[in-house]
Amino acid sequence: MIRLPCRIPGCKRVFKNKSGQTKHVRTAHSLLHNRVAFHQAAPDLRSPSLENPAFDDRPPSPQHHDFDENNDGVFMPEEGMQLGPLFRTFHPLLTGRKCDIYGNFINQNAPPPSRTEASPTDWTPYESQVAFETAEFLYTHNQMSAAQIDTLLDLWAATLIQHNDSPPDVAWETFTMSYNGVKPAEDIPPWMTAKYDVWFRDPHLLVHHMLSNPDFDAKIEYVPYRDYTNNDQHCYKNFFSGDWAWKQADIIVEDPETHGSTFVPLIIGSDKTTISVAMGHTEYHPLYMSIGNIFNGVQRTHRNGVVLVGFLAIPKSTKEHLDNKDFRNFRCQMFHSSLTKIFESVKLNMTIPDIVHCPDGHYRRIIYGLGPYIADYPEQLMLSGVVQHWCPKCLNHRKNLDSCGPSLLLCQEHTDLLVQELQHAHLWHEYSIIQEVVPFTNDFPQADIHELISPDILHQIIKGTFKDYLVDQVEEYLLLTHRASCAAEIMDDID
């Protein structure tokens, strides 16, 4: 790959081709000279203007990298920077510009505003403000019974111990769900009359807390980027280096009002774990969330990189009703309706920028989006509305996978069209689609559940390929060639 530096002394820009270099010199450096001359002669009109670099709405170079201080804000798609053996390009429009608390873009070289520290407060007899507000919420606003409080605290404590987490500083909320379909005249099953409490914390506030955490400074990306080798090979590392983040940015910037903003994808995960204990007619699945901006290593090691959002209520029933179609559909749809309700607070700012304090101390315009959903295969089916034993991401027939050729990927637009045109039986047997299930992603912009489901690495690769196949075959071989005690000794060495 050609690497052409800027011809102007002091400028550190590097370009992939000569046209990009020429365009940069003609625009960036000539415009900068003209603007300096203009400001020497023109009065300060105190209004946003293209002649004022502080209010230039053209996308600048990503400001979390060390560029020349004379940068005028022009950032073309051809531009990039050399980072050791890799050449990095940035998204040209969704550029993470710094702004003030009102959302007005500021001089990109300005220092961050000073952090306002709250004065100490005596919360006696409570240990802290969190303890006081928790008690106030439980006894005043919600008026929970002692048994419900015990249940919530048990679930909370079990999760904190399991994930080495600390108590939350965002208040818990709850809503109740129940079956509202047609009921039989007599012998009504218990799940049709039961009420199900879903507990959650506002994800909008949780993301604000994550983004304002100074521990994430220098460990977070504000602009989607792509890294290339000298052979033009695309290299991937952190989430923002992938194609999905870039494509989402392309969709977002179709609205000019989002230019200069920061994309924050919400990475969601849920699973049935040991805290999903039986409590009457309900079990609970923990719901977790992270953001795609922070580095992969931070998500895995930092205790605030992944937060507990809530507990999804999953209806239970006796064996008599487990095969009941209405119960299965209700159970699945309640799962989706709960997710829709929980993430309702971030929906507005998936199209309208939210002004948020970031780890480097600056404010930025934030556009949220639903990112990958991490779940094991049974929950993937529930999320995608796909029949058991079928793939939640592609259209290949489950009995003819080897000879199908390249897979055609499922997409929500195609699924919606099939649901409108075909009968239930045809959808079920030929396309693996459950007609009655409406994915929660349908309620949010630019979100497709089939695209957002991530691979189930634990079950499909580690357990499915290695544990259930390779290890089992090795064990059978050892039993055939060695006596049982010797085979067990060898297996212990393998472990």
Q: Hey, how many other C-beta atoms are within 10 angstroms of the C-beta on 381?
A: 22
Percent of the chain at pLDDT above 70? Answer: 71
- State which amino acid sits at residue 460: Q
pLDDT at res. 73? 41
Please tell me the distance from the alpha carbon of residue 156 to that of residue 137, in angstroms, as a whole number.
16
Please tell me the distance from the alpha carbon of residue 109 to that of residue 23, in angstroms, as a whole number.
24
Per-residue pLDDT, averaged over 481-493, amounts to 85
**Contact 356/367 with Cβ under 8 angstroms?**
no
Which range is least confidently modeled, 66-70, 77-81, 106-110, 114-118? 66-70
pLDDT at res. 484? 85
Give me the helices (H) in 188-277, please: 190-193, 203-211, 243-252
Average pLDDT of the chain to the nearest whole number: 78
Please tell me the distance from the alpha carbon of residue 167 to that of residue 485, in angstroms, as a whole number.
48
Per-residue pLDDT, averaged over 113-124, amounts to 56
pLDDT at res. 128? 63
pLDDT at res. 65? 39
Percent of the chain at pLDDT above 90? Answer: 37
- State which amino acid sits at residue 147: A
Position 205 confidence tier, pLDDT thresholds 50, 70, 90:
very high
Q: Which residues sit opposite 172 in a β-bridge?
A: 201
pLDDT of 342 higher than 70: yes
pLDDT at res. 49? 28
Per-residue pLDDT, averaged over 254-260, amounts to 96
pLDDT at res. 8? 64
pLDDT at res. 281? 67
Position 284 confidence tier, pLDDT thresholds 50, 70, 90:
confident
pLDDT at res. 64? 41
Please tell me the distance from the alpha carbon of residue 393 to that of residue 381, in angstroms, as a whole number.
10
Full-model pTM? 0.71
Q: Look up residue 483 and give its two tokens.
A: 């006596």
**Contact 452/358 with Cβ under 8 angstroms?**
no
pLDDT at res. 402? 65
